[in-house]
Structure 1
Amino acid sequence: MYKAILFDLDNTLLDYTSSELDAMRRAIDHHRLPELSGFEWETFRAVFAPINWTYWSERVERQIHISQVLQYSFRDTLIQMGFDPSLSDPLASTYWKLFCSTCHVMEGAQNVLVSLHGHYPLGIISNGIGEAQRARLKTGGMDHYFDHLFISDEVGLWKPDRAIFDSAVRAFGVDHSEVLFVGDSLQDDYRGAASSGIDFCYYNSEGLTAGEAYTPKFAIQSLSELALLLNRSSF
């Protein structure tokens, strides 16, 4: 019988992709980039994405703050597209403010939290940035559902490190076998939960093939399935 449910946040409960695109387009419009000769939104996105991913993935090792990740990403993108890189700082600042106040929710997320809240203690384990994650949850009216939030830049631990999962289990005062973790990433979520001895529910909204190396306890394609699983099971 599970006594606590933990969730990943981005692309599990909150739609990171939609939030990013929404904030990005509004920031670009605010700074009037579409008025520049030769500017194309699709080209900007295609150039920005791999640059931003590189800076983001290296941020811990290189000790780069999120503000620098964004500044460098916008700077390099503008340079590559042949535009004035001095726009990068104000563009990054505007984007971050907009992103932190933008909350697109994954389908079924609100309903599943309502159904579980009060029946299970709920928590978050996220590799995101605390300022953004807390603000987005508040914007979406979802922050009150959670007893504990474990956000990597606040606790100094990153999934799939089992230590962040162990910390969450200790906070709830339960055994590892009494916790279910729900997430969309086999690399970060499954590996971290498995190494900590926590059952993992793979939120596989796109119906991807997991591969033989991954054996989640459960797999769901919609969040509504989670409440059904918990309601009918005597794990």
Structure 2
Amino acid sequence: MDFARPGTPTRVRVPEPGLGDPADPWRPSRLRLVCLDIDDTLIDFTSAGKRALSLLLGRDDMWPLWERITDWHVAQVVAGEIDYACMHHRRTQYFLAEIGIVVEPEDVTRFECRRKEVLRRSWRLFDDVLPCLEWLRAADVLIAAVTNASGAHQRAKLADLGLTRFFDHLAIAGEVGAAKPDPVMFHSVCAVLDCDPGEAAHVGDKLHTDAVGARDAGLEGIWLDRSGGEPEVPDGVHVIGGLDELPQLLVSEFAMIGVPAQR
């Protein structure tokens, strides 16, 4: 199943004919599953992370370095080399050493504990999240959260912010043994929820990790570009500026999706 794109042939999956209904090769497949990234898609994680780091360090220019070091250590978790608890400690110790702060292991532990406390107090949902999730639930599609971050922390975020009730499945990279954009990550979600990848869409804030990765795995890739930077977008990827635009995109592109009744 592909969204129709100008100048691009549209692949359609011919549904099984119902009783007394002829097969219609031009009828698009139904959408059964919507997958959503968590950090910076549902939760304004970057703002909270920058705030915590700035508060602890007394400077606000260290976030890019923190992200690069974190990504490197998360890759080790996904590869099965370390667990998340060990990763958090090693990541923080490595980061502090990189900026010239050499401390004892117990100091690293205290720094990480304080950072997590500030983070937890700072988590906020984007304003368009709850209306979108409520619409998807009313539209009777399956909803999955798909994340490369730590399972314990992501479950805590979803619970603290009242989002757990919306999700039929939560896929954690370290638990799956693969991370976005690896197709295994997306296919594992579809397998758990008994859904063909061609009947699923994935939405996330990272163009290549989320949208292109999902497209290459056979799902519909939707890039959530909140900043409106307008870089060159690969073929087969849809772009929305906010989750408030997602329902209209899905309804306009899918003939078979449960549309909530007007109230």
Q: Does 1:54 align with 2:83?
A: no
Larger Rg: 2
Q: Could you tell me how far apart the structure 2 residues matched to 1:95 and 1:207 are?
A: 30
- Tell me the SS of whatever aligns to 1:226: helix
Query: What count of residue pairs does the alignment treat as equivalent?
Result: 215
Match of 2:189 in 1: 168
Q: TM-score, normalised by structure 1?
A: 0.81
Q: Could you tell me how far apart the structure 2 residues matched to 1:129 and 1:88 are?
A: 19
Q: Could you tell me how far apart the structure 1 residues matched to 2:155 and 2:120 are?
A: 8
- Tell me the SS of whatever aligns to 1:174: coil
Match of 1:3 in 2: 32
Q: Could you tell me how far apart the structure 1 residues matched to 2:118 and 2:225 are?
A: 28
Q: Could you tell me how far apart the structure 1 residues matched to 2:132 and 2:161 are?
A: 14
Q: What is the one-letter code of the residue matched to 2:103?
A: P
Q: Could you tell me how far apart the structure 2 residues matched to 1:147 and 1:98 are?
A: 29
Query: Which of the two has greater helix per residue?
Result: 1
Structure 1 pair 233–192 and aligned structure 2 pair: CA distance change class (3 A): closer
Q: Could you tell me how far apart the structure 2 residues matched to 1:149 and 1:5 are?
A: 12
User: Is the CA contact 1:202–1:216 (under 8 Å) kept in the aligned structure 2?
Assistant: no
User: Is the CA contact 1:101–1:136 (under 8 Å) kept in the aligned structure 2?
Assistant: no
Q: Does 1:207 align with 2:228?
A: yes
Q: Could you tell me how far apart the structure 1 residues matched to 2:212 and 2:254 are?
A: 25
Q: What is the one-letter code of the residue matched to 1:57?
A: D
Match of 1:67 in 2: 89
Deviation sequence 1:33-74 (CA, Å, 0-9, x none):
7xxxxxxx3xx331x324323321221347461222123323
Give the alignment of 1:213-232 within 5 angstroms: 214-232=234-252
Q: Could you tell me how far apart the structure 2 residues matched to 1:215 and 1:100 are?
A: 38
Q: 2:125 aligns with which of 99, 102, 105?
A: 105
Give the alignment of 1:1-235 within 5 angstroms: 1-24=30-53, 28=56, 41=58, 44-46=59-61, 48-59=62-73, 60-61=75-76, 63=82, 65-77=87-99, 79=101, 85-86=103-104, 87-100=107-120, 102-118=122-138, 119-211=140-232, 214-235=234-255
Structure 2 unpaired stretches of 5+: 1-29, 256-263
Q: Could you tell me how far apart the structure 1 residues matched to 2:208 and 2:200 are?
A: 19
Deviation at 1:233, TM superposition (A): 4.0
- Tell me the SS of whatever aligns to 2:94: helix
- Tell me the SS of whatever aligns to 1:65: helix
Q: Could you tell me how far apart the structure 2 residues matched to 1:210 and 1:200 are?
A: 16
- Tell me the SS of whatever aligns to 1:149: strand
Q: Could you tell me how far apart the structure 1 residues matched to 2:228 and 2:68 are?
A: 27
Structure 1 unpaired stretches of 5+: 34-40
User: Is the CA contact 2:176–2:188 (under 8 Å) kept in the aligned structure 1?
Assistant: no
Deviation at 1:78, TM superposition (A): 5.3
